């Protein structure tokens, strides 16, 4: 039985370490001493959660309840807790200050179970129940333990690293060598439950990755498309026959059907079943296979009859975002009708299709999905001719769609989970308008606004992901393109992610320091024209000391469907600047 204090002390140490290698080494060392279940629980805890992304792990305790629980645990007034909170800005620090020294006695398992009980407390009296459960465990905790228990409960652990660090640590801890990290990362794209993966590795070592295959009910990471510079490049990249599919601008959904149970997962692997009852009902009618996993896109869409003709209307992504809600789902189902366009099938009745070529998957998709009502299959053209693809693109854009995705039909055209693959290429309308590109950037800071924008932000400091370092490096300052509505929404979002110092996984040049630091959490899509060298930014800086910058950036939209680690990478922008 491992004591929780050991984990709490490690958290404390990790907060101070900046070296990637050192963090991974420390975590690996810690994992080595644990049994399988402890490994599983701690893997979630390191990421500030009590389960994988695809199950709801919200504990349901906000500041107000936490203040109450802390006051009760340490027999001080709520006002006293609030005063200290106002000063420190962190309820974990408050607990550390006011709790008394005691012998550490809690185990990792006990703390983990208690967090689970807090989450489970529901219904009438649940607030009192949750408060009591928290206050009770705080009474048994040392100051260090209490600090981290409170941060975990509030979902504010913020150790400054993501799942990739853990995967590297698993490799060292359970296989004795970091060289298996690549294989483990690949397994994680298919077995996205980090706790289960950790436990299997702890118990079976290197033999474990092979046992992971897609299972209905557990989402796999989405396959993504590369960008190309021109139709000529497309021709060079995919020789011979290729398929150009319409590109729908909505929300990615992975549908999992297991008998009667149907679930939908987002690109962030979150369970979005409840948001789309209409899609789930329609899939129930159109998809009869007992066990199946489908990949597709939900779009805001209506089909009308006009003078005997069928007219389709595709609405922009912004409209679909009205469906991102927990309440009034039925009302918005009417207000914002949607359709789903399936473009892939990943699993069928016990068999993984990830290693089947795309033409075979497409034909299975057509066999097992009946097109009716709001269920569609992505429309496409199959051809060798780039001219025909260009024509298809023009027609697609005319219909109001955003572009096309061109897919390889080769023998090796597998479903590459979690990869921006060289088997799929996107071509969007913006590209044809003079090399303008869109980027998914992470907000890492904001500057005060002046004049008309006083009281709001003036510009956002935005970053790309350096995959090797798992660090966010700044690329540009975005100050245009915001409507007033956007600005209000962004201000609200920013306020929940303000941090007092530069997060460990963010790199900013001295001359670029924002007025407010924002932890990497918000992803925005930005249109820009050109990548240039820039001494002011850290993107791709490496040893040369000169980073890359995006010129003439313009805000397009907030990407709630993207997590910071899904952002555009340094590698991608380097490629855009220099070509392949
Ligand atoms: P982007 O978001 O610009 O990187 O484009 C990739 C996204 O396009 C995917 O993640 C899907 O959500 C979406 N998409 C829409 N239609 C298709 C399609 N026919 N094939 C693949 N992806 C598609």
Strand pairing partners for 90? Answer: none
Give the domain-ending residue among 382, 402, 432: 432
One-letter-per-residue 3-state SS of 531-563: EEEECCCCCCCCCCCCEEEEECCEEEEECCCCC
pLDDT band for 435, please (50, 70, 90 cuts): low
427 plus 447 within the same structural domain? no
315 plus 405 within the same structural domain? yes
Give a yes or no: residue 180 inside a domain.
no
- pLDDT of 580 > 80? The answer is no
Give a yes or no: residue 199 inside a domain.
no
Say what the pLDDT of residue 170 is: 97
CATH of the domain at 306: 3.30.470.30
pLDDT band for 210, please (50, 70, 90 cuts): low
407 plus 496 within the same structural domain? no
426 plus 449 within the same structural domain? no
CA distance 408 to 5: 52
Q: Which of 516, 524, 527, 537 is nearest to 458 (CA)?
A: 516
Give a yes or no: residue 303 inside a domain.
yes
Give a yes or no: residue 468 inside a domain.
yes
- Please tell me the residue having the least CA distance from ligand 1 atom 1: 225
Set 40, 147, 221, 247: catalytic member? 247
pLDDT tens figures, 24-49? 999 999 999 999 999 999 999 999 99
Say what the pLDDT of residue 24 is: 97
Give the pocket of ligand 1 (CB within 6 Å): 222, 224-225, 245-248, 252, 297, 343, 378, 405, 426
Give the domain-ending residue among 110, 125, 154: 154
Domain that holds residue 405: 224-432
**Residue 520 contacts residue 444 (beta carbons within 8 Å):** yes
25 plus 118 within the same structural domain? yes
Q: Residue 561 Cα, ligand 1 centroid: separation in angstroms?
A: 12
93 plus 239 within the same structural domain? no
CATH of the domain at 21: 1.10.3260.10
Q: How many CB atoms lie within 10 A of CB 313?
A: 12
For the CA of 247, the nearest atom of ligand 1:
16
Three-state DSSP class for 135?
Answer: helix
381 plus 403 within the same structural domain? yes
Give a yes or no: residue 166 inside a domain.
no
pLDDT tens figures, 344-394? 999 999 999 999 999 999 999 999 999 999 999 999 999 999 999 999 999
Say what the pLDDT of residue 286 is: 98
- pLDDT of 436 > 80? The answer is no
Give a yes or no: residue 31 inside a domain.
yes
Say what the pLDDT of residue 545 is: 74
Say what the pLDDT of residue 335 is: 94
Across the chain, mean pLDDT equals: 93
Give a yes or no: residue 165 inside a domain.
no
Q: Residue 446 Cα, ligand 1 centroid: separation in angstroms?
A: 30
CA distance 224 to 576: 17
pLDDT band for 579, please (50, 70, 90 cuts): low
For the CA of 223, the nearest atom of ligand 1:
10
Q: Residue 102 Cα, ligand 1 centroid: separation in angstroms?
A: 54
pLDDT tens figures, 47-104? 999 999 999 999 999 999 999 999 999 999 999 999 999 999 999 999 999 999 999 9
Say what the pLDDT of residue 530 is: 85
Give a yes or no: residue 203 inside a domain.
no
560 plus 419 within the same structural domain? no
427 plus 451 within the same structural domain? no
- pLDDT of 433 > 80? The answer is no
Q: Which of 158, 236, 173 is nearest to 206 (CA)?
A: 173
pLDDT band for 209, please (50, 70, 90 cuts): low
CA distance 381 to 300: 23
Q: Which of 223, 254, 265, 297 to mutate to test the pocket of ligand 1 (most atoms within 8 A of CB)?
A: 297
- pLDDT of 343 > 60? The answer is yes
Hey, what are 579's tokens? Answer: 């070509």
Give the domain-ending residue among 154, 185, 202: 154
- Please tell me the residue having the least CA distance from ligand 1 atom 8: 247
Cα separation values, 84 from 13, 80, 155, 434, Å = 24, 6, 20, 55
Q: Which of 222, 232, 580, 569 is nearest to 390 (CA)?
A: 232
pTM over 0.75? The answer is yes
- Rounded (5°) CA angle 109-115-120: 120
- pLDDT of 239 > 60? The answer is yes
- Please tell me the residue having the least CA distance from ligand 1 atom 12: 252
Number of structural domains in the chain: 3
CA distance 318 to 421: 27
143 plus 248 within the same structural domain? no
Is 419 noted as a catalytic residue in this protein? no
Hey, what are 428's tokens? Answer: 């969007």
- Please tell me the residue having the least CA distance from ligand 1 atom 21: 405
């Amino acid at each position: 039985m491992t004591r929780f204090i050991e984990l709490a002390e490690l958290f404390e140490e990790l907060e101070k370490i900046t070296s990637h290698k050192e963090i991974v080494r420390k975590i690996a060392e810690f994992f080595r001493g644990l049994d399988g279940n402890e490994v599983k629980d701690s893997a979630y805890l390191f990421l500030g959660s009590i389960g994988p992304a695809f199950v709801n792990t919200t504990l349901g305790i906000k500041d107000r309840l936490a203040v109450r629980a802390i006051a009760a645990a340490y027999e001080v007034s709520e006002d006293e807790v609030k005063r200290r909170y106002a000063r420190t800005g962190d309820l974990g620090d408050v607990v550390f200050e006011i709790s008394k020294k005691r012998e550490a006695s809690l185990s990792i398992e006990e703390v983990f179970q208690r967090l689970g009980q807090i989450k489970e407390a529901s219904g009438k009296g649940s607030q009192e129940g949750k408060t009591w459960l928290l206050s009770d465990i705080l009474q048994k905790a040392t100051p260090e333990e209490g600090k981290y228990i409170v941060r975990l409960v509030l979902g504010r652990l913020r150790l400054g690293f993501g799942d990739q660090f853990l995967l590297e640590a698993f490799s060292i801890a359970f296989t004795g060598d970091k060289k298996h990290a690549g294989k483990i990362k690949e397994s994680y794209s298919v077995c996205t439950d980090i706790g289960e993966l950790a436990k299997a590795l702890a118990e079976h070592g290197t033999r474990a990755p092979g046992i992971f295959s897609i299972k209905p009910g557990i989402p796999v990471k989405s396959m993504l498309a590369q960008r190309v510079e021109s139709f000529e490049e497309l021709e060079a990249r995919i020789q011979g026959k290729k398929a150009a599919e319409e590109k729908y601008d909505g929300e990615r959904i992975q549908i999992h059907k297991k008998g009667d149970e149907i679930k939908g997962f987002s690109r962030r692997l979150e369970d979005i079943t409840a948001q789309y009852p209409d899609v789930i009902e329609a899939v129930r009618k159109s998809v009869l296979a007992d066990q199946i996993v489908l990949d597709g896109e939900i779009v805001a869409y209506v089909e009308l009859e006009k003078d005997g003709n069928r007219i389709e209307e595709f609405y922009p992504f912004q409209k679909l975002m009205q469906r991102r809600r927990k309440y009034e789902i039925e009302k918005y189902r009417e207000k914002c009708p949607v359709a789903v366009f399936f473009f892939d099938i990943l699993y069928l009745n016990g068999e993984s299709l990830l290693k089947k070529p795309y033409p075979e998957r497409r034909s299975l998709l057509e066999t097992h999905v009946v097109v009716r009502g709001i269920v569609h299959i992505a429309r496409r053209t199959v051809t060798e001719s780039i001219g025909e693809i260009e024509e298809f693109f023009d027609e697609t854009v005319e219909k109001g769609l955003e572009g096309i995705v061109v897919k390889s039909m080769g023998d090796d055209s597998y479903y590459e989970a979690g990869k921006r693959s060289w088997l799929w290429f996107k071509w969007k309308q913006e590209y044809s308008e003079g090399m303008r590109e869109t980027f998914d950037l992470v907000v890492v800071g904001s500057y005060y606004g002046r004049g008309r924008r006083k009281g709001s932000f003036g510009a956002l400091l935005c970053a790309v992901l350096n995959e090797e370092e798992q660090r966010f490096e700044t690329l540009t300052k975005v100050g245009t393109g915001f409507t007033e509505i956007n600005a209000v929404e962004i201000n609200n979002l920013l306020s929940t992610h303000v941090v007092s110092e530069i997060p460990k996984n963010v790199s900013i040049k001295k001359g670029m320091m924002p007025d407010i630091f924002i932890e990497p959490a918000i992803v925005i899509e930005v249109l820009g024209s050109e990548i240039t060298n820039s001494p002011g930014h850290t993107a791709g800086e490496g040893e040369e000391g000169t980073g890359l910058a995006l010129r003439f950036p313009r805000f397009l939209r907030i990407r709630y469907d993207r997590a910071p680690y899904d952002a555009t990478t340094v590698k991608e922008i380097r490629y855009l600047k220099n070509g392949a």
